[in-house]
Amino acid sequence: MHQARTTCPYCGVGCGVLAELEGERIVGVGGDSEHPANYGRLCVKGSALHETLGHQGRLTRPRVDGVEVDWETALSAVADRLAATRSEHGDGAVAAYLSGQLLTEDYYVANKLFKGFLGTPHLDTNSRLCMASAVAAYKRSLGADAVPCCYEDLEEAELVVLVGSNLAWNHPVLYQRLKVAKTRNPLMRVVVIDPRVTDSCEIADLYLGLKPGSDARLFNGLLAWMADKGKLDRVYLEKHTQGLEEALAAAREEDGSVAAVAADCDLDPERLETFYYWFASQLHVVTLYSQGVNQSSSGTDKCNAIINCHLAGGKLGLPGAGPFSITGQPNAMGGREVGGLANQLAAHMDYHTPGALDRVTRFWTTESLTPSLPEGPGHKAVELFEAIERGEVRALWIMATNPAVSLPRADRVRAALEKCPLVIVNECMADTDLLAYADIVLPASSWSEKNGTVTNSERRISRQRGLLPPPGEAKHDWWIITRVAQRLGYGEAFDYAHPAEIFDEHARLSGFENPADTPDKGKRLFDISGLAGLDRDAYDALAPIQWPVNAAAPRGTARLFEDGRFTTPDGLARLIAVRPREPEQRLSEARPLRLNTGRIRDQWHTMTRTARAPRLMNHRAEPFIEITPEDALVLGVGDQQLARLTGAGGDYLGRVRLTKGQRRGEVFVPMHWSDRFSGSARMGSLLEAHLDPLSGQPESKHGAVALTPL
């Protein structure tokens, strides 16, 4: 038996894992005590990783039109059909939908193929459902999609504010770190702001059970309160920011008194003012936010309302201080790094980044090939499926994700997939909901087989190592993409034999015309040029490291903006004028209940992996609907009774769980179940597809439903 280091494939904490290998089997896993994300800890999902492995249920052979074929036939079919679609309908008729489960190297070559050589801007990712609003807000305010904090900041803070984040269930190891830090520092306070009383409240000194969707009003109120009480850091604001007056004016358009804000957020005014006082009187404050803030039709504004308060108090760029978005998926950030969002090009460059189109074109040009990059952004996730519905996108390549379950209006997504003339799916498992819609199925490698890098929520790049051979004929995603590229005639630009070579190219692009010693104008913050040139051994041995990594910071960078210089043209951060908006999904007589959705502690996404471990199923064995006893009484439904929710585009069948930790008039359902596990429990079919206008992130936390007892 021997041990090997790798990284957990589930949440954005990105814990280091020690896998115990016996021949070609992983017989156990433990936390890697040397990994700075978790220092040896694992949560229940991570510690059951070895129980989810095995070849049973895996996809092992390619399929074209329902018939098993060899790889040569499958790859040629993909290449020929993509080429035919482009020549008949134009470059924009082909698209890709990727996943935060992919490794950075997979993402890089997919982005390079679609945007660089197929000339289509329509490549987006399921990370759009998770952190797109946080990204848009960082860009608006700080000038770059750059998370300022690191995990140690949670331990160094005097006040930690959790907003729309059930850290205890969704990022458990980070929660454990916070809990230990609070025990060690009795002066540390934790505030939880969430419509639901979650397990994270166990360590809360103050809980604010706000009305769903009122976050921006609450933080606008905080900004106004800080101004009124003389708690603004005028020196910091003067030196490092602009936009205070406009942001304050917007915050004061509504009555900024504590009483008025508390009434609008449905909170006790005294408790709200206690929070305002705590926030304003501490310098070392971390506000950690997640999907409860992001998954909203005004998610970007909500994130900016939070960032505004940190800038106004100078609580950023210091140990234990800053706004800190935590990503859901293991590589949501890695995808952002290579251009995995439809509004990005590559290496954190957007279409409007000065010189970016020309720079990326020149970098990807080979002796005989010149890329033909699209001129502007493509369709974001939900819009992409609408374009398929309209018949504009006619070929879609989906990798490592299951939009037939997870997108809002999931039934419309299914209808769009049905209609799409060409659907190609890279998938590990043999029985996902999506495969019914695939014309070409390509068996992909999975965790423990895949070899590459991921980036966690604190910008830390870690190796996920290939420890076992893929089953049957399954192949790595990067291999599949590059072999299709070769058949399309782009072999010279996709001549990679190992993921180390892709990572090297990605690292070189990040530093291309991006001098490390030019801190201000023209400097792009995402820079890992210090990791370029690694040979296979050095790549394999790469220790976890936080970007930027370059000549100026060869050992990585724990915290950003410590010098108060931001990545805007003038180096100043922007406070943004935020005008709070109600959720777009309106309650009505027909659908009077507010629907909240989210993860549960022991499952991951659509359960293709976690459902294989019996002990993970023990936590919650079936889909459920949480509701208060008072509402249950009115609706005539009892604990453990079956009930049906009816939403915008479908039904959800679940067992009622009564809870006092929820507001009246609201229901909560988990996001994980699908037709594979239950006749009708797809939360995506309940939701309207309302999007944040800036980020394109769907409003997954604010559905409107009716409940019928069964």
Q: What residue ranges bind ligand SF4 (CB under 6 A)? A: 8, 10-11, 13-15, 38, 42-43, 45-46, 171-173
Half-sphere exposure of residue 626: CA atoms within 13 angstroms, side-chain side: 19
Neighbours of 248 (CB within 10 A): 21
Q: Residue 406 Cβ, how far from ligand SF4 at the closest point, in Å?
A: 18
Phi-psi bin for 200: left (phi > 0), alpha (psi -120 to 50), beta? alpha
Distance CA 549, CA 424 (A): 36
- Cα 264 off chain centre by: 29
Helix, strand, coil percentages (3-state) for the chain, rounded to 5, are 35, 20, 45
DSSP label at residue 115: I
Q: Residue 384 Cβ, how far from ligand SF4 at the closest point, in Å?
A: 28
User: Which residue do the tokens 């009505």 mark?
Assistant: 588
User: Which residue do the tokens 């990059």 mark?
Assistant: 373
DSSP label at residue 444: B
**For ligand SF4, the closer CB: 86 or 609:** 609
Task: Give how far Cα 30 sits from Cα of 1, 13, 26, Å.
Answer: 14, 15, 11
Q: Residue 501 Cβ, how far from ligand SF4 at the closest point, in Å?
A: 27
Q: Residue 593 Cβ, how far from ligand SF4 at the closest point, in Å?
A: 30
**For ligand SF4, the closer CB: 123 or 607:** 607
**For ligand SF4, the closer CB: 10 or 526:** 10
The tokens describing 248, both together, are 């304050």
Question: Are the C-beta atoms of residues 681 and 621 closer than 8 Å to each other?
Answer: no
**For ligand SF4, the closer CB: 45 or 394:** 45
Q: Residue 43 Cβ, how far from ligand SF4 at the closest point, in Å?
A: 3
Q: Residue 121 Cβ, how far from ligand SF4 at the closest point, in Å?
A: 32
**For ligand SF4, the closer CB: 42 or 103:** 42
Q: Residue 246 Cβ, how far from ligand SF4 at the closest point, in Å?
A: 39
**For ligand SF4, the closer CB: 8 or 382:** 8
Question: Are the C-beta atoms of residues 210 and 193 closer than 8 Å to each other?
Answer: yes
**For ligand SF4, the closer CB: 10 or 561:** 10
**For ligand SF4, the closer CB: 41 or 140:** 41
Half-sphere exposure of residue 539: CA atoms within 13 angstroms, side-chain side: 23
Q: Residue 44 Cβ, how far from ligand SF4 at the closest point, in Å?
A: 8
H-helix segments, 409-540? 410-419, 477-485, 499-511, 536-540
540 three-class SS = helix
Q: Residue 453 Cβ, how far from ligand SF4 at the closest point, in Å?
A: 15
Complete edge-to-edge strand list for the sheet that includes strand 189-193: 206-208, 189-193, 159-163, 285-289, 322-325
**For ligand SF4, the closer CB: 29 or 303:** 29
Q: Residue 49 Cβ, how far from ligand SF4 at the closest point, in Å?
A: 8
Question: Are the C-beta atoms of residues 107 and 340 closer than 8 Å to each other?
Answer: yes
Distance CA 660, CA 302 (A): 27
Neighbours of 211 (CB within 10 A): 19
**For ligand SF4, the closer CB: 385 or 447:** 447
* Residue nearest to ligand SF4 as judged by C-beta position: 46
Peptide bond into 548 cis (omega under 30): yes
Question: Are the C-beta atoms of residues 478 and 464 closer than 8 Å to each other?
Answer: no
**For ligand SF4, the closer CB: 42 or 349:** 42
Distance CA 595, CA 704 (A): 6
The angle at the Cα of 426, spanning 52 to 506, to the nearest 5 degrees, equals 100
Q: Residue 37 Cβ, how far from ligand SF4 at the closest point, in Å?
A: 7
**For ligand SF4, the closer CB: 14 or 452:** 14
